[in-house]
Structure 1
Amino acid sequence: MLEKHSYIVDASDLQLSKLLLINSRQSYREMAESLGISINSVHKRVQNLIDSGIIQKFRTNISLGAFSGIQVIIFGKTSLFSLNILKRNLVRDNRYYWVTFGAGNLVYIGAYLHSIDELSEVVAFAKNAADLSEVIVGIGPSFPIPGKINDLDKTDLQIIRELQYDSRKKASEISSIIGISAKTINKRISILSEKYLVHFTIDWIPNKKSDILAYLHLTIEDDYTPAQIESQINASYGENNVYCMQFSNLPNFLFSVWWVDSFEKLSKLRESIQSINGIKQIEINMMYDGVILETWRDKFLHDSIKL
């Protein structure tokens, strides 16, 4: 296996990664215009992120909302010492999509539920698989989705399947495989996007680099909302903040992912963030290993093509 080469990541790489996490099918020209850099620079940066192992796949998912599904994050202390052991335990259930190990034996596990009725079972399985203690469970917010899974016909599913592990695949390539015109494919892809039936994203693993990936737990004052704090973070610290996540069952909590190049930078950011009005407390957790898992959403695509 070829060793991933060393690559120094800068602010433009993080912004590029954020654009691709939101929509990995957008053109190099669109990304170049958003970042204020050349198309050639975008192309080189993307290739470097791939070569260094930070971008592992350009992925297409049927949106969780189309299934009326729910995202949850489970985190706590583990007695396990190996990510591979935990991965082997979790893959016995295809509802878990992501797991990350951090300092102090902290582990984060992401899961996709078909419905809230599965919550107790999913949490219990994760606690057992990771031997977790001090568990916190965050339930992702619900969003209205105009499109549902039954809106997808066989051709839509064929297109999504071709894009599943390569969201940037050209319509002309798909056309030669499924036998309809590239123009029709592009039109269908646009409709799928407009109805929020698909999400074009990337499998993004920044812990393959020497930079620091930090998960921040922000406790919010009662007079403020997580949304207000997230807005301030995005406005002032977008250069280092990857994304924030709010939980419907934790109204005074905001989960935030940060990517920095030194502990000194992280320390300064902590001091600065602590000064934001509305933040009561900050807990920083350093992450050092992670993996993305296949789930029932991926299996649905495979099974649907066989029908």
Structure 2
Amino acid sequence: MLRKKCIRVKYRLRAQTVAGNNGHILGFSPLFDQINMMLFRLLGVDEIDLVLCSMLMSNSRTPYRALADKLGLSVNAIHKRIQSLIETDVIRGFTAKPSIRALGFLSVFIHGASNARSINEAMKKISTCENVYWICVGGGNHLYVGAYVRGLSKLNEVAATISDLGEIPEPVIGIVETGYNPETSPREELESLDWEIIYQLRNDSKRPISEVADSIGISAKTARRRLDKLIHNQLIELSILWYPDASNDIISVYHVHTEPKIRLNPLDLYRDYMPRLIMAIEYQNIPGEYLLLAWSRTTNDMRELYLRIEDDSRFESVKANIIFLGEVYPTWRDKLLEEKGAPQSI
């Protein structure tokens, strides 16, 4: 039986509108459309692949022509790059799920040093929790766990379960700032047809709309109209299963702190550290603490990035780590989609 610890989490309510949060694991909001696209012309080969993956995390149904235009490449070049990323297991799937706005859940990030003798066994145990969607392992057996929690009332229970399974005695429990607050923002319910469309796209978000329509038994026009509405209202999350650690590149993590009264704009961080910065995670309940995930081609690149971040006057302190392993897992969101969207047997 799991030992349920009472973990107190302060939660600062924020009523905010969703602005372009079509989501990735961690509630990452795509910001590249707001950044001067001319900068991409200065990028090297690996950097372009990084930006391409980030754009697909934002919307994996983005047409190749649109990707090509934004990156200044040909459609054929985009196709070859994506195929290469698939063949090297960097991209392992194109996914569709009901979004945070549709389901009204919290995106939570829990991390801390594990006392487990076997970190692989700890990962297996943590993955049995239906809330966990992502686990990463850093140096010093530091575990980073992403979870989707169905409401603030469930947070302590989920956090205690994860910390017990992973043998994390002093976990940091952060509610990720996604731009949407389920505690104060209205929720828009999905209709049965919406569930069916998302279900048909769940394992192949790039699937032609005509095939989706045929599988459901509706016209392509109706299916397209409903999907466009889901995308416009940010009720569907179209993303990719992205494994940057499958390449020979280095993924580093930076725990940075600012004065609690100073709130940084993630957009500014992306601009300052693009294209190396993969994600900038802000917590709703921990003022002044941010988690930055970054990409480097070599150890020299990583050293240079670390020195830049350490010298950044906005940060009071910086602690760095390196990601060695990462895995993505199905959650209750996938089970719910199966229940509500799968064809009913007669």
- TM-score, normalised to structure 2, is 0.81
Quick one: which amino acid aligns to residue 126 of structure 2?
A: L
- Shift in Å at residue 305 of structure 1? 3.1
Indicate which of 253, 266, 286 corresponds to 2:302: 266
Quick one: which amino acid aligns to residue 255 of structure 1?
A: L
1:147–1:195 Cα contact (<8 Å) kept = no
In the alignment, does 2:194 pair up with 1:156?
yes
- Shift in Å at residue 189 of structure 1? 0.8
1:60–1:200 Cα contact (<8 Å) kept = yes
3-state secondary structure, aligned to 1:218: strand
Percent of aligned pairs sharing the same letter: 29
Post-superposition, which runs of at least 4 consecutive aligned residues in structure 1 deviate over 4 A? 81-84, 144-147
Indicate which of 240, 255, 259 corresponds to 1:217: 255
Aligned-partner Cα distance in 2 for 1:125–1:53: 31
Aligned-partner Cα distance in 1 for 2:259–2:45: 34
- Shift in Å at residue 185 of structure 1? 1.2
- Shift in Å at residue 233 of structure 1? 2.1
Aligned-partner Cα distance in 2 for 1:76–1:226: 23
In the alignment, does 2:48 pair up with 1:12?
yes
Aligned-partner Cα distance in 2 for 1:16–1:111: 25
Quick one: which amino acid aligns to residue 189 of structure 1?
A: L
Q: How does 1:1-307 map to 2 (within 5 A)?
A: 10-80=46-116, 82=118, 84-141=120-177, 143=180, 148=187, 150=189, 152-222=190-260, 224-227=262-265, 230-305=266-341
For structure 1, list consecutive stretches of 5 or more residues without a partner in the other structure. Answer: 1-7
1:147–1:197 Cα contact (<8 Å) kept = no
Q: Deviations over 1:84-131 (max 9, x none)?
A: 423431243211111111111100111111111111111111111111
- 158-167 or 136-145, which moves further after superposition? 136-145
Aligned-partner Cα distance in 2 for 1:181–1:38: 32
Aligned-partner Cα distance in 2 for 1:35–1:82: 43
For structure 2, list consecutive stretches of 5 or more residues without a partner in the other structure. Answer: 1-43
Task: Give the aligned length.
Answer: 297
- 2:26 aligned partner: none
Aligned-partner Cα distance in 1 for 2:78–2:88: 15
3-state secondary structure, aligned to 1:66: helix
Q: Deviations over 1:231-250 (max 9, x none)?
A: 33211221111121110111
